[in-house]
Structure 1
Amino acid sequence: MTHICNPILRGFNPDPSIVRVGEDIFIATSTFEWYPGVQIHHSRDLANWRLASRPLARAAQLDMRGNPDSCGVWAPDLSHADGRFWLVYTDVKRYGQTTVDGATGASLRDFHNYLVTCDRIDGAWSDPVYLNSSGFDPALFHDDDGSTWLLNMLWDHRPGRGRFAGIVAQQLCRETLRLIGVPKLIFTGTARGFTEGPHLYKRDGWYHLLVAEGGTGWDHAVVMARSRSLLGPYEVHPDGAVLTAGGRADAPLARAGHGDLVELADGTTWLAFLCGRPAPGTERCVLGRETSIQPVRWDADGWLRTIDGTGKPDPTPPQPALAPHPWPEQAWDGTFDGPDLPDAFQWLRTPRPEFLFSLTARPGHLRLFGRETIGSLFQQSLVARRQTDHRYTVTTRVEFAPDHFQQAAGLACYYNSTKFHYLNITSDDGVRQLHVMSAAPDLTGCTDVVVVPALPDGAIELRVDVDGAALRFAWRSAGDREWQVLPMTLDASILSDEATLPGLPNFTGCFVGMACQDLSGTGLAADFEWFRYREGDEAERAFLRD
């Protein structure tokens, strides 16, 4: 028997929403402040997945300039009805909390929920329809009577309240795509608290409500309740959590929760859920929250349970009875020879990528235009890909000729504006230098260390090697054989949810990529000739070969 290797979507791919249309299975995941918005992966056997679409790709659909870190697109929900795909999502514009005399005051946050549709998963999705701003994690339920309902968690900003007030439901008109009637609170959650991520299903006359509870940390869980009426009242699953890692940071798949169900053509039911894998020897999930999947069963009492009944996430579930369907390998050699950005890469917040980078200004190169600081919440030139392995090597070659200390370009390992390690070429009094800039929760602001006071002319190759929590930078002149490894070992584990300053949202994962800044106002460009990401044992071989 062959097995699925969880997680199926490695690296930052949280909050899965799964749907089957015929033999095709799709999972949508959150992208937060990374653009374009929402990742949709496609499979036909649950084991092999490919990126099929990033549907929120126009300014009319999504503009996140100014959104705080870990805001933007939260928990998209993907469904299919009336011959088209429906996608609802939250664009979080503010994440704030007011304290008064040490007590928690009103917590005012802006959660705007929208709906887009498309007849093809990889087509041009519609302009968004605004739904509400009452809370986050919207989801649609298409009932068998032809009605459609919107569910979302209800945010209670009032002082002294629990914030997570429960799940509300309101009918949506399929013709006008507008909400009708009034919202009704249908479920207030359990003692675990932090009730969010609703999904609704109908089976044997029961409405089954699935929610995420326990927060996004080690106590995260999938919880279910059921009712004979869509609007409740709902009784809670007698076992408590349907799926959880039980607060164990050392579980193979920790932080398990926020799930969604799909039924295959053979009648078997599968649960897609998020999870985290801490870096070895740490309790920090640098890879972010990833997506896993495993079979579940409906028991004689009508409740859903894991196959073994323990409620634990399964790292290696058996593959379903589907024909294996690996996708044709789309290998990328690391060069920038085409007019489009390779699929692995994204950028931050703005719907105007042409202001940040070009693949045609100098053919064969990715040209980054110097824009705002690497901590900017508006327009910074950072093009990066997810870290998907605890051990990896990245190398790149850059041509950059700064003549001012406000100009910089290089290789960045980036979580958000408060957590990054950045190896960059800059200038001091006309002398080109190599610096390492770091921001971490235990630092006040950023450190900026000169590591090479005078760089030779010409193209420079930059390198980062990560092994668990250890991060090392290196450099060499183009054409040289030997790498110059920098003497410091940096802490890669700070690039995680778990390393944080109080009060800040942390819901993404580490990216590694290319960056360029120019605060002098000239927009000085950096040209990157190639970018190579090698994982695991291949990273070790790359160090010996390159």
Structure 2
Amino acid sequence: MRGFNPDPSIIRVGDDYYIATSTFEWFPGIQIHHSRDLKNWRVLTHPLARASQLDMIGNPDSGGVWAPCLSYDNGTFYLVFTDVKSHMGPFKDTHNYVVTATDIMGPWSEPIYLNSSGFDPSLFHDEDGTKWLVNLTWDHRKGKNPFGGIVIQQYSEELKALTGPIQTIFDGTPLGLTEGPHIYRHDGYYYLITAEGGTRFGHAATVARSRTLLGTYEADPAGPLLTSADHPELALQKAGHASLVETQDGQLYIVHLCARPLSPSGSCTLGRETAIQRCVWTEDGWLRLIGGSHSPEVQVSAPALPEHRFEAEPEVEHFDGDAISIHLHTLREPRADQWATLKERPGHMRLKGRESLYSSHRQSLIARRQQSFTVDAETVVEFEPDTYQQLAGLVYYYNTKNYYYLWISHDEQLGKCLGIMSSDRAVYDEPLEQPVSIDGVERCYLKAEIRHEALQFHYSVDGAAWQPIGPVLDASKISDENAELVKDGIALDQGFTGAFIGICVQDLSGRGKYADFDYFKYSER
């Protein structure tokens, strides 16, 4: 699953496979992907589609929805997730919820609050009908291991709440940073798969087991099931955070988090992605990758299932219907006609300017994941700004502190004009020495060409003759690695998402000036 699709949780229901992945501050929350052959996948739905289910206004960059866990039992789908309200410094405000549905397409319920003791919750359905929540517990105390162990507590469907004692069942291995727990049952054992080593280049998936659900869990003496930490030459790096599934004929696969660094920067502009590996149970009851190593492979043999392809996704969103592409997302809140409407000018997306790109509250921005290293993105916009405080255009965005923006605005001398702004770890710049006047041009076409580590903006006044504008920009800045800021061994900022590209409007005067976008095109080269 190319592009920002981390923390996979996989299940099989009959002949259908579903994977849930994290969405962080992007709305709607949680991507659910569907396959029937483990080879061809499509984005199927987003369960957290209402503000009543997920209110992220004010959430920090890379807050919001962390590490969902999808499960199924007795005709009901369960989805547990964390809504992270803060995650820097010694404290993490992490609220865990569960939503349910009898159909994967919904409707999904309103969220039921579970706890706030840590993140990465997972729901285990035992054979006796009991249900158990496991999650990492976070320890803020100085001198303590902040990854305070995996805890378990029973969940009561009758009470719609956790009940009974809270017990620590696993402290982790020497790799540390133990998180992302999932429990499975096999041949008389309970197996706990966790993520360890941190979600960067030291990441790993480890396995522990116990004869009883409540432990004690013994870690696999052979070390991690999966990691690329000891092989920096591998194409798939950051391998870890795994989830297990069994096919109809008993084959085992894990899906896991990974990333593909650009060269020479080592930056992962596509963010943390999802890959798949084949596994097998050993004679002594441990889980191993096929082949015996713990290294992720780029190509894996597919199960003996009929191939099931999906129609190719259209490259162009024409904004002609009542809804927009499932691949287009907003920041922290659902799209609403008050600021992003298809109704006021049919065939166009009318975006009304609100807050700046630095805002963690209300941005008028619609964007999609970058899912290839070579991409063209294009739009055309009609916009008549009255002041330099009104801007509209095409944005290449990581978070509020890291982006490139090709904008249309107003200058007192030039009139309507084009310019570029950038933010690199919150340091503002204008890479174009002087804005380009397009005064009198009603429709302006904007394009971004991304070629691995290079970004070049273009514009056109007729949609045919394109001109480059500004210098070639460093696309590797739009990455997890650049978003992370460490000083004296202390993380001052973090990034867990990936590059997005899309359209946006700001009106810093508060008058709500709008821009009309006729289409948005995303094509992979």
Q: What is the Cα deviation at residue 515 of structure 1? A: 0.7
Q: What is the Cα deviation at residue 367 of structure 1? A: 1.0
Quote the residue 2:451 is aligned against. Answer: 467
1:397–1:478 CA contact under 8 A, matched in 2: no
Q: What is the Cα deviation at residue 393 of structure 1? A: 0.9
1:37–1:54 CA contact under 8 A, matched in 2: yes
Quote the residue 1:260 is aligned against. Answer: 243
Q: What is the Cα deviation at residue 332 of structure 1? A: 4.9
| Residues 337-416 of structure 1 aligned to structure 2 (within 5 Å) | 337-351=320-334, 353-416=336-399
Q: Indicate yes or no: 2:151 matched with 1:158.
A: no
Describe the SS at the equivalent of 1:275. strand
Partners of 2:197 and 2:524 in 1: CA distance: 33
2:87–2:93 CA contact under 8 A, matched in 1: yes
| Residues 86-485 of structure 1 aligned to structure 2 (within 5 Å) | 86-97=78-89, 107-351=90-334, 353-429=336-412, 431-441=415-425, 444-447=427-430, 449=432, 451-456=434-439, 457-479=441-463, 481-485=464-468
User: Equivalent pairs: percent with the same residue?
Assistant: 49
Quote the residue 1:540 is aligned against. Answer: none
1:257–1:275 CA contact under 8 A, matched in 2: yes
Partners of 2:339 and 2:24 in 1: CA distance: 19
Partners of 1:335 and 1:179 in 2: CA distance: 46
Partners of 1:436 and 1:330 in 2: CA distance: 30
Q: Indicate yes or no: 2:502 matched with 1:513.
A: yes
Describe the SS at the equivalent of 1:160. coil
Q: Which deviations, in whole Å up to 9, do the C-alpha atoms of 1:79-133 show, x marking residues without a partner? A: 0012110000000001231xxxxxxxxx122000001000011111000100000
Classify 1:451/1:534 alpha carbon distance in 2 versus 1 (closer, same or farther; 3 Å).
Answer: farther
1:86–1:115 CA contact under 8 A, matched in 2: yes
Partners of 2:325 and 2:377 in 1: CA distance: 16
Q: What is the Cα deviation at residue 446 of structure 1? A: 4.2
Classify 1:494/1:301 alpha carbon distance in 2 versus 1 (closer, same or farther; 3 Å).
Answer: same
TM-score, normalised with respect to structure 1: 0.93
Describe the SS at the equivalent of 1:498. helix
Deviates more, 1:481-490 or 1:157-166: 481-490
Q: Which deviations, in whole Å up to 9, do the C-alpha atoms of 1:354-412 show, x marking residues without a partner? A: 33311121111111110100111001011000000111111111111101010000000
2:408–2:416 CA contact under 8 A, matched in 1: yes
Quote the residue 1:543 is aligned against. Answer: none
Q: What is the Cα deviation at residue 433 of structure 1? A: 1.3
Classify 1:330/1:483 alpha carbon distance in 2 versus 1 (closer, same or farther; 3 Å).
Answer: closer
Structure 1: gaps (5+ residues): 1-8, 98-106, 537-546
Partners of 2:396 and 2:433 in 1: CA distance: 18
2:431–2:471 CA contact under 8 A, matched in 1: no
Classify 1:163/1:447 alpha carbon distance in 2 versus 1 (closer, same or farther; 3 Å).
Answer: farther
Structure 2: gaps (5+ residues): 487-491
1:249–1:278 CA contact under 8 A, matched in 2: no
1:434–1:450 CA contact under 8 A, matched in 2: no
Classify 1:277/1:525 alpha carbon distance in 2 versus 1 (closer, same or farther; 3 Å).
Answer: same
Q: What is the Cα deviation at residue 415 of structure 1? A: 0.2
Quote the residue 1:48 is aligned against. Answer: 40
1:147–1:174 CA contact under 8 A, matched in 2: no
Partners of 1:175 and 1:487 in 2: CA distance: 61
Q: Which deviations, in whole Å up to 9, do the C-alpha atoms of 1:273-300 show, x marking residues without a partner? A: 0100112322100000011112100010
1:396–1:529 CA contact under 8 A, matched in 2: yes
* Paired amino acid for 1:459: R
Q: Which deviations, in whole Å up to 9, do the C-alpha atoms of 1:223-262 show, x marking residues without a partner? A: 0000001111111111111001124443211111101000
Q: Which deviations, in whole Å up to 9, do the C-alpha atoms of 1:440-481 show, x marking residues without a partner? A: 13x6344464543311421000011111111111111025x3
Deviates more, 1:326-335 or 1:207-216: 326-335
* Paired amino acid for 1:506: G
2:420–2:470 CA contact under 8 A, matched in 1: no
Q: Indicate yes or no: 2:69 matched with 1:69.
A: no
Q: Indicate yes or no: 2:510 matched with 1:526.
A: no
Q: What is the Cα deviation at residue 330 of structure 1? A: 4.4
1:17 to 6, 9, 14: 9
* Paired amino acid for 2:513: L
1:96–1:108 CA contact under 8 A, matched in 2: yes
Quote the residue 1:104 is aligned against. Answer: none
1:458–1:478 CA contact under 8 A, matched in 2: no
1:504 to 493, 504, 510: 493
2:197–2:204 CA contact under 8 A, matched in 1: yes
Partners of 1:406 and 1:448 in 2: CA distance: 18
Q: Which deviations, in whole Å up to 9, do the C-alpha atoms of 1:56-98 show, x marking residues without a partner? A: 011211010000000000000000012110000000001231x
Partners of 2:336 and 2:81 in 1: CA distance: 22
Partners of 2:153 and 2:280 in 1: CA distance: 29
Deviates more, 1:44-53 or 1:444-453: 444-453
2:317–2:324 CA contact under 8 A, matched in 1: no
Classify 1:362/1:248 alpha carbon distance in 2 versus 1 (closer, same or farther; 3 Å).
Answer: farther
Partners of 1:380 and 1:174 in 2: CA distance: 38
Describe the SS at the equivalent of 2:418. strand
Describe the SS at the equivalent of 1:493. helix
Describe the SS at the equivalent of 2:70. strand
Partners of 1:234 and 1:153 in 2: CA distance: 15
Classify 1:248/1:495 alpha carbon distance in 2 versus 1 (closer, same or farther; 3 Å).
Answer: farther
Partners of 1:366 and 1:154 in 2: CA distance: 43
Quote the residue 1:541 is aligned against. Answer: none
Partners of 1:451 and 1:308 in 2: CA distance: 58
1:186–1:231 CA contact under 8 A, matched in 2: yes
Deviates more, 1:292-301 or 1:449-458: 449-458
Partners of 2:208 and 2:87 in 1: CA distance: 29
Q: What is the Cα deviation at residue 341 of structure 1? A: 1.1
Partners of 1:19 and 1:45 in 2: CA distance: 13
2:202–2:228 CA contact under 8 A, matched in 1: yes
Partners of 1:510 and 1:327 in 2: CA distance: 25
2:329–2:367 CA contact under 8 A, matched in 1: yes
* Paired amino acid for 1:533: Y
Q: What is the Cα deviation at residue 176 of structure 1? A: 2.5
Partners of 2:338 and 2:86 in 1: CA distance: 25
Q: What is the Cα deviation at residue 484 of structure 1? A: 1.3
2:24 to 29, 32, 35: 32
